[in-house]
Amino acid sequence: MLGTALLSASLAGCAGAPAVDPAAQVAATVPPPSVLPEQAQQIRDEVAGRLQAARGGTNPSLLEQAAVGPAADLELLRAQVDGPQPDAETLDPPAAAVLVAPRTGTWPRWFVAVTDPSTDDELPSLELYDSDDVRSPYRLWGRMTLLPGAVLPAFPDAGRGAVALADGTGPDRVPQDGDDEQSDEDELLGVLAELSGRYASVLADGDASTAAAEFEPDAFVEGVLARAGAEQAAVAGVAETTVTHTPYGDDDVLYAVEGADGDVLAVTAVQTVTTMTVLPGAGVLQPDAEVRAAAGIEETDGTLTTRSVAALAFVVPAESGAIRLVAVGEGLVSAEAS
């Protein structure tokens, strides 16, 4: 299996030495999954409790121990706009239908839970939790809604764990330029490298992007392009608009794990910054209610900058084929007028 080195050993024979089970030797070299199903549910419950306390205002500092990455950005804006919510609905996480727990003996650690829909018309969500080190609690990194018809790779039983190819800091190993021969694993790691940057290019340029052919067409790209065009048209003659899409935090944040059939589930994020600058004497911008609340303004005759973040889950095929988007969690995380 890709990404896993199974060590073998041979024992020098000696009279009377007990037989050694080769399978037991191999099993001893394979690290355990990052969490077991019971632990994962406990972690999800604890994170939900910390988020509840932070939202309710009883202990706002718990937010730092409950969320990180895109999830933390969204929660920070929620706190800024809504303030304490002592009557907020209890955040009981639904049971997980799928648990993807990478095998690892080190930190950082992470796992993915895919929820059961609680009603027939509710789509399941894909949640990613991670922990920086042995002293740090698991925190929610992102919650994404599975797209209609999305198919995830099949994974080994959660009690056995799966093979991780990236732990939030980019691929575990990137093939070097100039290699005469690339293994299948090298080619796959090469595809994973800078995944968010290539998808950001598609969000910016659509079919004109040099990376467009790598990805299956998806409704999220169509929606982002349509929204950007509509926003620019709405302020034409009043403001100049620029839109940039880049990897989240300007880093190649990537979590990736291999399925039983070799297909890879990869989770990353892209940030979008939209800047509207009012032309001299052209009037004022009056943003929508969400942006007004985030920026703390009703209108501006200067520059309005908004930032949104999209957590994204892809399936990267083991064989040749287009990368497909399977889950998205997007939202505004900041707005500022100057």
- CB burial class (10 A; 0-12, 13-18, 19+) of residue 98? middle
* Bridge partners for 33 per DSSP: 103
The 3-state secondary structure of 171-202, one letter per residue: ECCCCCCCCCCCCHHHHHHHHHCCHHHHHHHH
The confidence score (pLDDT) of residue 1 equals: 37
Cβ contact 324:314 at 8 Å? yes
Domain assignment present for residue 108? The answer is: yes
The confidence score (pLDDT) of residue 121 equals: 59
Domain assignment present for residue 139? The answer is: yes
Q: Taking the CB of residue 14, how many other CB atoms lie within 10 A of it?
A: 6
Percentage of residues of the chain with pLDDT beyond 70: 86
Please determine, for residue 15, whether its predicted confidence score (pLDDT) is greater than 90: no
Average pLDDT, the chain: 87
Domain assignment present for residue 5? The answer is: no
Domain assignment present for residue 1? The answer is: no
- List CB contacts of 188: < 8 A, sequence separation 6 or more: 2, 165, 264, 316, 318
Please determine, for residue 42, whether its predicted confidence score (pLDDT) is greater than 80: yes
The confidence score (pLDDT) of residue 189 equals: 87
Residue 300 tokens, joined = 């501006």
Over the stretch 248-277, which tens digit does the pLDDT of each residue have? 987 789 999 999 999 999 999 999 999 999
What band does 148 get if pLDDT is binned at 50, 70 and 90? very high
Residue with structure tokens 């004497």? 281
| Structural domain harbouring 39 | 28-169+183-337
Please determine, for residue 129, whether its predicted confidence score (pLDDT) is greater than 80: yes
Between 22-31, 33-42, 229-238, the lowest mean confidence (pLDDT) is in: 22-31
Mean pLDDT, range 305-309, rounded to an integer: 98
The confidence score (pLDDT) of residue 188 equals: 85
Domain assignment present for residue 175? The answer is: no
Domain assignment present for residue 21? The answer is: no
Over the stretch 59-84, which tens digit does the pLDDT of each residue have? 888 899 999 999 999 999 999 998 88
Cβ contact 313:326 at 8 Å? yes
Domain assignment present for residue 3? The answer is: no
Report which DSSP code applies to 213: G
The confidence score (pLDDT) of residue 195 equals: 96
> What is the total count of domains within the chain?
1
Question: N- to C-terminal Cα distance for the chain?
Answer: 53
Cβ contact 337:297 at 8 Å? yes
pTM for the predicted model, two decimal places: 0.87
- CB burial class (10 A; 0-12, 13-18, 19+) of residue 267? buried
Please determine, for residue 175, whether its predicted confidence score (pLDDT) is greater than 50: no
Write the single-letter amino acid at 53.
A
Domain assignment present for residue 13? The answer is: no
Please determine, for residue 122, whether its predicted confidence score (pLDDT) is greater than 70: yes
